[in-house]
Amino acid sequence: MAKVLVLYYSSYGHIETMAYAVAEGAKSAGADVTVKRVPELVPEDVARNSHFKLDQKAEIAKVDELADYDAIIIGAGTRFGTVASQMRNFWDQTGGLWFNGKLVGKVGSVFTSSATQHGGQESTILGFIPTLLHHGMVVAGLPYAFQGQSGVEAVKGGSPYGASTITDGDGSRQPSEVELEGARYQGAHVARIAAKLA
Ligand SMILES: Cc1cc2nc3c(=O)[nH]c(=O)nc-3n(C[C@H](O)[C@H](O)[C@H](O)COP(=O)(O)O)c2cc1C
């Protein structure tokens, strides 16, 4: 049974929702799944004044525990076209794991969200993949075998690089069923690859 970590950062809860859908998908493919988040870095008053979702139940991950999993699926929202710095900061602490090759051969995968349709989902995911490759990880995305990402009948996230959701400028849009399906598909896809490699 592959051990899969879904590691996320979410200010407003969209990525949190997507993370549990990814986890559901990984579980459905037989994986032993853990959902954790990375620490918040903005001052508490800023988080409160910005209406961040502060009641998130997932435990905070420790950097060294990344070595304990066969696959790590990373979720964080777009910030100015790139990944939220909370996630970046966490991975900036993985130098020791990198030096000792602790993540070599594990599966890595990324999902995201943004306010606008063309606000940087692809650049966020693609911008994070070099980090996974520097660690020697095997990168998996969201194949077009997940047909929900095709078609223009509705506003929707999803790309071959990874699942995604679009939140609208005020964050009022929640992940749609097809976006959640994409997240589940990515979770199952990664879990199956990790099981084969493990
Ligand atoms: C400082 C900041 C920068 C952002 N930059 C972008 C951006 O470049 N493009 C975009 O579409 N949305 C942008 N957003 C919106 C976030 O991507 C969105 O709030 C996030 O994906 C919601 O996910 P969450 O609910 O999990 O936090 C930005 C938000 C903040 C706070």
pLDDT for 35-92, tens place per residue? Answer: 999 999 999 999 999 999 999 999 999 999 999 999 999 999 999 999 999 999 999 9
Question: Is 73 known as a binding-site position?
Answer: no
Contacts of 127 (CB under 8 A, 6+ apart): 81, 82, 83
- Return the pLDDT at 81: 98
The structure's pTM equals: 0.98
Bridge partners (DSSP) of residue 79 are: 82
Please give the full DSSP string across 78-93, using - where no structure is assigned: EETTEE-HHHHHHHTT
Question: Is 13 known as a binding-site position?
Answer: yes
Ligand 1 centroid to Cα of residue 89, in Å, is 17
Q: At 188, is the pLDDT very low, low, confident or very high (cuts 50, 70, 90)?
A: very high
Q: CB count, 10 Å around CB of 49?
A: 10
- Return the pLDDT at 76: 98
Q: Please state which CATH number belongs to domain 3-197.
A: 3.40.50.360
CA 35 to CA 198: how far, in whole Å?
20
- Return the pLDDT at 140: 98
- Return the pLDDT at 27: 98
- Given a contact cutoff of 8 angstroms between Cβ atoms, the answer to whether 74 and 95 are in contact is no
**Is any ligand 1 atom within 6 A of the Cβ of residue 120?**
yes
C-alpha dihedral (27, 30, 32, 34), degrees to nearest 10: -20
If you take atom 25 of ligand 1, which residue's CA is the nearest one?
Answer: 12
**Is any ligand 1 atom within 6 A of the Cβ of residue 165?**
no
- Return the pLDDT at 120: 98
Per residue in 78-102, pLDDT (tens digit) is: 999 999 999 999 999 999 999 999 9
- Given a contact cutoff of 8 angstroms between Cβ atoms, the answer to whether 84 and 11 are in contact is yes
CA 191 to CA 10: how far, in whole Å?
22
Bridge partners (DSSP) of residue 8 are: 37, 75
**Is any ligand 1 atom within 6 A of the Cβ of residue 86?**
no
Q: At 146, is the pLDDT very low, low, confident or very high (cuts 50, 70, 90)?
A: very high
If you take atom 28 of ligand 1, which residue's CA is the nearest one?
Answer: 79
Instruction: Look up residue 55 and give its two tokens.
Output: 């009641």
- The domain limits of the chain are 3-197
Please give the full DSSP string across 140-189, using - where no structure is assigned: ----TTSGGGS-SSS----BTTB-EEE--TTS-PPPPHHHHHHHHHHHHH
**Is any ligand 1 atom within 6 A of the Cβ of residue 171?**
yes
Instruction: Provide the mean pLDDT of the chain.
Output: 98
- Return the pLDDT at 168: 98
**Is any ligand 1 atom within 6 A of the Cβ of residue 115?**
yes
Question: Is 74 known as a binding-site position?
Answer: no
Phi-psi region of 70 (alpha: psi -120 to 50; beta: other; left: phi over 0): alpha
Percent of the chain with pLDDT over 90: 99
Query: Average pLDDT, stretch 15-44?
Result: 98
Ligand 1 atom nearest the C-alpha of 9 is 26
- Given a contact cutoff of 8 angstroms between Cβ atoms, the answer to whether 75 and 8 are in contact is yes
